[in-house]
Amino acid sequence: MSILKTLKLTTALPVRTSNDPVERARNKVIAALAEQKAMAEAKVAGQHYAPTHMVWRKNEDGQRVQVETPKRLRAGWFVDASGQTFFGLRYAGKPIEFAKDKNAITVGELTALPAILDTLTEAVRAGELDTQLAAAAAERGHMLRKAV
Protein backbone atom coordinates (compact mmCIF):
# COMPACT_ATOMS: atom_id res chain seq x y z
CA MET A 1 0.00 0.00 0.00
CA SER A 2 2.90 2.39 0.35
CA ILE A 3 3.17 2.66 -3.43
CA LEU A 4 -0.46 3.83 -3.74
CA LYS A 5 0.16 6.50 -1.12
CA THR A 6 2.66 8.13 -3.48
CA LEU A 7 -0.13 8.80 -6.00
CA LYS A 8 -2.60 11.66 -5.79
CA LEU A 9 -6.00 9.94 -5.46
CA THR A 10 -9.34 11.63 -6.09
CA THR A 11 -12.96 10.92 -7.01
CA ALA A 12 -13.77 11.80 -10.63
CA LEU A 13 -16.40 11.01 -13.23
CA PRO A 14 -15.94 11.23 -17.00
CA VAL A 15 -17.77 13.98 -18.82
CA ARG A 16 -20.74 12.55 -20.66
CA THR A 17 -21.62 13.67 -24.12
CA SER A 18 -24.96 15.30 -24.61
CA ASN A 19 -27.99 13.01 -24.52
CA ASP A 20 -29.94 15.62 -26.47
CA PRO A 21 -30.90 14.00 -29.81
CA VAL A 22 -30.98 17.39 -31.57
CA GLU A 23 -27.42 18.15 -30.47
CA ARG A 24 -26.28 14.67 -31.56
CA ALA A 25 -27.88 15.17 -34.98
CA ARG A 26 -26.22 18.56 -35.38
CA ASN A 27 -22.81 17.15 -34.45
CA LYS A 28 -23.24 14.26 -36.87
CA VAL A 29 -24.17 16.57 -39.75
CA ILE A 30 -21.33 18.98 -38.92
CA ALA A 31 -18.83 16.10 -38.97
CA ALA A 32 -20.22 14.90 -42.32
CA LEU A 33 -19.96 18.42 -43.76
CA ALA A 34 -16.34 18.65 -42.59
CA GLU A 35 -15.57 15.41 -44.45
CA GLN A 36 -17.35 16.71 -47.55
CA LYS A 37 -15.30 19.90 -47.37
CA ALA A 38 -12.03 17.97 -47.08
CA MET A 39 -13.04 15.79 -50.02
CA ALA A 40 -14.02 18.83 -52.12
CA GLU A 41 -10.76 20.64 -51.32
CA ALA A 42 -8.78 17.55 -52.33
CA LYS A 43 -10.77 17.26 -55.57
CA VAL A 44 -10.12 20.92 -56.40
CA ALA A 45 -6.40 20.42 -55.68
CA GLY A 46 -6.36 17.35 -57.93
CA GLN A 47 -5.60 14.96 -55.08
CA HIS A 48 -7.33 11.79 -53.91
CA TYR A 49 -9.05 11.95 -50.51
CA ALA A 50 -9.03 8.58 -48.76
CA PRO A 51 -9.97 8.73 -45.06
CA THR A 52 -9.55 5.60 -42.98
CA HIS A 53 -11.18 4.23 -39.85
CA MET A 54 -10.58 1.34 -37.49
CA VAL A 55 -12.77 -1.77 -37.69
CA TRP A 56 -12.73 -5.13 -35.94
CA ARG A 57 -11.98 -8.14 -38.13
CA LYS A 58 -11.02 -11.74 -37.53
CA ASN A 59 -7.50 -12.69 -38.56
CA GLU A 60 -6.44 -16.05 -39.94
CA ASP A 61 -6.20 -17.44 -36.38
CA GLY A 62 -9.82 -16.53 -35.68
CA GLN A 63 -8.94 -13.78 -33.22
CA ARG A 64 -10.60 -10.38 -33.38
CA VAL A 65 -8.12 -7.63 -34.21
CA GLN A 66 -8.49 -3.97 -35.05
CA VAL A 67 -7.61 -3.12 -38.65
CA GLU A 68 -7.42 0.23 -40.41
CA THR A 69 -9.55 0.22 -43.57
CA PRO A 70 -10.56 2.88 -46.10
CA LYS A 71 -13.76 4.66 -45.16
CA ARG A 72 -16.58 4.53 -47.70
CA LEU A 73 -17.51 8.10 -48.46
CA ARG A 74 -19.89 9.37 -51.11
CA ALA A 75 -19.60 12.86 -52.57
CA GLY A 76 -22.55 15.08 -51.66
CA TRP A 77 -22.19 17.11 -54.84
CA PHE A 78 -23.30 16.11 -58.30
CA VAL A 79 -23.30 17.51 -61.82
CA ASP A 80 -26.50 17.69 -63.85
CA ALA A 81 -26.85 17.25 -67.63
CA SER A 82 -26.00 20.90 -68.33
CA GLY A 83 -22.71 20.61 -66.41
CA GLN A 84 -23.76 22.67 -63.39
CA THR A 85 -22.67 21.48 -59.93
CA PHE A 86 -25.13 21.08 -57.03
CA PHE A 87 -24.76 19.98 -53.41
CA GLY A 88 -27.37 17.89 -51.63
CA LEU A 89 -27.31 16.99 -47.94
CA ARG A 90 -28.54 13.62 -46.72
CA TYR A 91 -29.32 12.62 -43.14
CA ALA A 92 -30.71 9.28 -41.91
CA GLY A 93 -30.78 8.07 -45.51
CA LYS A 94 -33.06 10.88 -46.63
CA PRO A 95 -32.30 14.03 -48.66
CA ILE A 96 -32.76 17.16 -46.55
CA GLU A 97 -34.98 19.91 -47.95
CA PHE A 98 -33.46 23.34 -47.31
CA ALA A 99 -36.77 25.01 -48.21
CA LYS A 100 -40.11 23.75 -49.52
CA ASP A 101 -39.32 21.40 -52.44
CA LYS A 102 -35.67 22.62 -52.57
CA ASN A 103 -33.27 19.76 -51.78
CA ALA A 104 -30.05 21.05 -53.39
CA ILE A 105 -27.80 24.10 -53.36
CA THR A 106 -26.53 25.50 -56.66
CA VAL A 107 -22.73 25.56 -56.46
CA GLY A 108 -21.68 26.53 -59.96
CA GLU A 109 -17.93 25.84 -59.97
CA LEU A 110 -16.53 23.14 -57.70
CA THR A 111 -14.01 25.66 -56.30
CA ALA A 112 -16.90 27.50 -54.60
CA LEU A 113 -18.06 24.37 -52.73
CA PRO A 114 -15.81 24.67 -49.61
CA ALA A 115 -17.16 28.18 -48.87
CA ILE A 116 -20.74 26.94 -49.34
CA LEU A 117 -20.06 24.04 -46.96
CA ASP A 118 -18.73 26.49 -44.35
CA THR A 119 -21.94 28.51 -44.65
CA LEU A 120 -24.03 25.36 -44.39
CA THR A 121 -22.08 24.28 -41.28
CA GLU A 122 -22.84 27.62 -39.62
CA ALA A 123 -26.54 27.19 -40.48
CA VAL A 124 -26.54 23.75 -38.84
CA ARG A 125 -24.78 25.14 -35.74
CA ALA A 126 -27.41 27.88 -35.53
CA GLY A 127 -30.16 25.27 -35.59
CA GLU A 128 -31.70 26.29 -38.91
CA LEU A 129 -32.08 22.67 -40.07
CA ASP A 130 -33.22 21.11 -36.78
CA THR A 131 -36.79 20.47 -37.93
CA GLN A 132 -35.65 18.81 -41.17
CA LEU A 133 -33.10 16.65 -39.34
CA ALA A 134 -35.67 15.61 -36.74
CA ALA A 135 -38.20 14.74 -39.44
CA ALA A 136 -35.66 12.63 -41.35
CA ALA A 137 -34.60 10.82 -38.19
CA ALA A 138 -38.22 10.18 -37.18
CA GLU A 139 -39.07 8.86 -40.63
CA ARG A 140 -36.03 6.58 -40.54
CA GLY A 141 -37.07 5.36 -37.08
CA HIS A 142 -40.57 4.51 -38.30
CA MET A 143 -39.15 2.69 -41.27
CA LEU A 144 -36.90 0.57 -39.04
CA ARG A 145 -39.69 -0.22 -36.61
CA LYS A 146 -41.94 -1.51 -39.41
CA ALA A 147 -39.25 -3.90 -40.61
CA VAL A 148 -38.80 -5.52 -37.18
What count of Cα atoms within 13 Å lies in the side-chain half-sphere of residue 73?
21
For residue 41, which phi and psi values (nearest 5 degrees)? -65, -40
What residue spans define the domains of the chain?
Answer: 20-147
Beta strand extents in the chain (DSSP E only) = 52-58, 64-70, 77-79, 85-87, 90-91, 94-95, 105-108
Task: Look over the chain and give the mean of its residue pLDDT values, rounded to a whole number.
Answer: 88
| pLDDT, position 9 | 87
Q: Write out pLDDT tens, residues 121-134.
A: 999 999 999 999 88
Task: Check residue 105 and give its pLDDT.
Answer: 95
pLDDT at 148: 45
pLDDT: is 102 or 140 the higher one? 102
Q: What band does 144 get if pLDDT is binned at 50, 70 and 90? A: low
pLDDT digits over 52-82, tens only?
999 999 999 999 999 999 999 999 999 988 8
Write the pLDDT tens digit of every residue in 86-112: 999 998 888 999 999 999 999 988 999
pTM for the model: 0.77
pLDDT confidence of residue 97? 92
Compute the distance between CA of residue 123 and CA of residue 89 in angstroms, rounded to an integer: 13
21/31 Cα distance (integer angstroms)? 15
